[in-house]
Structure formats: structure tokens, C-alpha cells
Amino acid sequence: MAMPRSMLLTCSAVLLGMAVVSSVGRAFVPAAGKPATQVQAPAAQLPTAALSAAAMVLPTAAHAEGGSVWIPALSAVGAGFAIGLAAIGSGVGQGIASGRCIDGISRQPEVADDLRGVLLLSLAFMESLTIYGLVIALVLLFANPLIK
């Protein structure tokens, strides 16, 4: 029973991933060049929500020199992944460490002070890794070395 369900979930995840990858390529537009001689306004065909979402997704000020939109756009995606993965990893690690510390204290209450000190030190180290992810995200967003 687990085999067909696993294959079904794997196939659905692959199809979803392919759909996301194919839609990401259409989300980025090239830098503004010369306007075409005949421009038709598709605004009458699109709903207002789609136009406002497109206006939020496609910032016009994030163009790199040379007319490329890919570097700033992918830098924003990388910044999101950096802070997201750092926060998820730190949160999971802190949860596991705190749970193990509580287990240790419940088994041997006499070593509670020692375990608490080690726990707080390890939590500080885990949180510093999250701050490193934040620094990487801020560098990618505001001081990107790939654009200059």
C-alpha cells in the first residue's frame, strides 16, 4: 500500500515542480527597450487583481546595468532562500536541543544547572547561524557584488 501512495506523491511533486519551473521563466521580463510601433493594451482582458499582482512582482527599479533583470531577481530569490533556510534550520535545531535538555533534566534533576548552561550556549550558537543567513540576505539585496 505504501508503494503506490509513494509513487503517486512523487509523481505529483515532480509535476508540481515542473509547473513551477515553467511558470518562473515567464515571471521575469526583459529590460525595457525600444517600444514597438504598434502596442495593444491587454489591460481590458486582465482582471484588476492580476494586474496589481504583476505590478508587485515585477519591480521596474531592479534592473542591472546592461539590461539584465536576472541578476537582481535571482538575488532576491537567493536572499529569500538564505533567510528562510537559516530560520527553519535554526528553529528545528533549537527545538531538538531544548527537547533533549528537558529530557535530561527530567531524568537527572541534579544536573539541571549544568544542562541549562550548555543549552543556552548552544542556543546562542544556533541563533548566530540565523544571523549569518540574515547578513547574506541583506548583502544580496542591498550590496550585491554581482551587479557592480
Domains of the chain (ranges, CATH numbers): 86-147 (1.20.20.10)
Collapsed DSSP state (helix, strand, coil) of residue 75: helix
How far apart (Å, rounded) are the C-alpha atoms in residues 11 and 23? 18
How far apart (Å, rounded) are the C-alpha atoms in residues 50 and 47? 6
Contact status, residue 23 vs residue 16, Cβ threshold 8 Å: no
C-alpha cell at position 120: 543556552
The helix or strand, by DSSP H or E, that contains position 46, with its residue range, turns out to be: none
**CB within 8 Å of 44: residues ≥ 6 apart:** none
Contact status, residue 147 vs residue 71, Cβ threshold 8 Å: yes
The pTM of this model reads 0.50
**CB within 8 Å of 134: residues ≥ 6 apart:** 82, 83, 86
Per residue of the chain (148 residues), give pLDDT as tens.
556 667 777 878 888 777 777 776 666 655 566 655 665 555 455 566 665 666 665 555 444 455 567 778 888 888 999 999 999 999 999 999 999 999 999 999 999 999 999 999 999 999 999 999 999 999 888 888 777 6
What's the pLDDT at 23? 74
What's the pLDDT at 65? 52
C-alpha cell at position 88: 527553519
How far is CA 116 from its chain centroid? Answer: 33
What's the pLDDT at 61? 45
